[in-house]
Amino acid sequence: MNKMTVRDIDVVGKRVLVRVDFNVPIDAKTGKITDDSRIRAALPTINYLIERHARIILLSHFGRPKGKVVEDMRLAPAAKRLSEILHEPVATVGDCIGPKAEKAVAALKDGDVLLLENLRFHPEEESGDENFAKALASLGDVYVNDAFGTAHRAHASISGIAHYLPAVAGFLLEKEINTLGALLENPDHPFTALFGGAKVSDKVAMLKNIMGKVDTLLIGGGMAATFLKAKSYSVGASAVEADIINIAGDLIKDTAKNNVNILLPVDVLVADKIDGSVKGQIVTVDKIPSCQIIVDIGPKTVDAFEKELKKSKTVFWNGTIGIAEVPQFAKATRTLAKLLSKLKARTIVGGGSTAETIAELGLADKITFVSTGGGASLEFLGGEQLPGVLALRDRI
């Protein structure tokens, strides 16, 4: 990555604004964080700044409050968890700009950590408002972006602040760019990409960009229905992106042109509704009932996928393989996640629901790298320039 990082600037005694991604899952009943991996991912940068006696001001969003204050979307639980991990206080304040925020920042001493309130309580954050970015920038001397998960958004706290302060990357952002970049530039072969999730449209650019670099594509999840439809299979009541069918067909043709092995499901689990009370049935893809929905891949497909994965030296996985939020439709996702954790290969998981599955199964330490960015990783691997990275200072 040809961008400056926090190593390249003087932070001693400085007010350092750090954009983090603390948009963590919280149990609605208990109010407790169920997966703190995004908080832990920011620790290398935070600890580096603490050790160098910076005054650390953390910025984050949480949820989608749509520009209004929503009480159960405050960042206090994240501050509490970070405090527990650091074994030192993490201050909070009721806003991210204005008199309250200014007073809290002014009270900081060297090595202190402050987490400002949810940025998205202000509609100006997502609109990239210049004055809002200026107000945030006025609280610091230096800006560090360590939020890869939102680096693809041109929000005020992502690219806006960088216009008014020296702007560099944190260690997490640097690691994300370098790790994902290596997939495109120098993967060990055989290189297998495993894709699931609901939509093909989210992944078209990435599929085209990696076509000449990957050896095998494994397609599952809801997106498999669109690919199967492109091959003239009847997919019952499964959701299909009608405007993407021809593109899916072209992608299949591109695999042949590029000598890429593509595996689509040969059998699937189907059900008449997406419901925890339904068991479903296994059918071959040429016998999907007209009234039923594909909810997971079948055992023969899992076996075929496992065979390819076991031969691989590099694996990239993005998107759950079934409707994983329903336990009985998550079998293939869980099976393949466990297999990945045992492979003697470089394994990279592309954020979002896939990363949540890895965390839930306690496998994160057995995967080479778990990205914190779902959409950001897809756009980066699709060859897109990320606003949050572009805004940072270039390395001379």
Please indicate whether residue 175 is annotated as part of the active site. no
Active site residue: 3, 14, 15, 38, which one?
A: 38
Cα gap 136→84, rounded to integer Å? 27
Question: How long, in residues, is the chain?
Answer: 396
CA distance 232 to 256: 18
Peptide bond just before 190 cis, omega within 30 deg: yes
Given the residues 199, 208, 313, 366, select the one marked as catalytic: 199
Which is the catalytic residue, given 313, 375, 382, 393?
A: 375
Active site annotation includes 319? no
List the structure tokens of 296: 């997971």
Q: What is the DSSP letter of 394?
A: B
In terms of Cα–Cα distance, which of 21, 126, 130 is closest to 65?
126
Edge-first strand order for the sheet with 15-19 is 91-92, 113-115, 55-59, 15-19, 142-145, 167-169
Is 355 strand, coil or helix? Answer: helix
3-state secondary structure of 287: coil
The yes-or-no answer on residue 199 being catalytic is yes
Q: Which of 170, 280, 352, 374 is catalytic?
A: 352
Tokens of 288: 């999907």
> Is 128 tagged catalytic?
no
Which amino acids are annotated catalytic?
38, 199, 352, 375
